[in-house]
Amino acid sequence: DSIILTSDEDMVSIPLFAARPAPQVTFDAFADFGMVVKDHSAQLSVRMRNVGLMEAPFRIRFDESLPVKISPTEGMLAPGRDSGAKPDDVSEGTGSRVSSINAPKSAMDLIVDFEGQNLGAFRCLATVEVEGQADQVL
């Protein structure tokens, strides 16, 4: 489909495109703790945003037997602009770990905890699953 504009002798055709509304979740590429001393812990946050036009139910999957903890591991991001859910807005948790967020907001901070248990480099993959979007690696 297109819109055709005409004026005297000129004609311009403007193509029309439409896309179905969908979630579009973005986040920092990875959580980099740098150097962590053995038998010490570190914590950082990763900002996750939904810039799409539909709600984004998400789930984060990772090997929970590793010395990394991510919270919350599931929740809902509202469509649109950043309204900024903070760790204080979460529920159903024990200590610093939580499992879900109270009310949908379009952005939130994931809390990532790491326990330095062994010497050497450590890497852990976490998969972010969002309905209506391809899985991403955190």
Which is higher by pLDDT, 106 or 31? 106
Which is higher by pLDDT, 126 or 82? 126
Instruction: Report, as an integer, the average pLDDT of 68-90.
Output: 73
Which is higher by pLDDT, 88 or 24? 24
Tell me how far apart the alpha carbons of residues 54 and 39 are, in angstroms, rounded to a whole number: 43
Q: Which of 22-31, 41-50, 56-65, 99-108 has the lowest mean pLDDT?
A: 99-108
Structurally, at CATH architecture level, domain 21-137 sits in: Sandwich (2.60)
| 49 touches 17 (CB < 8 A) | no
How large a percentage of the chain has pLDDT more than 90? 51
Give burial (CB, 10 Å; 0-12/13-18/19+) of 16.
exposed
Residue 76: pLDDT over 70:
yes
Looking at residue 46, its pLDDT comes to: 92
Residue 16: pLDDT over 70:
yes
pTM equals 0.68
* Domain ranges for the chain: 21-137
Q: Which of 10-14, 87-91, 107-111, 132-136 has the lowest mean pLDDT?
A: 87-91
Residue 75: pLDDT over 90:
yes
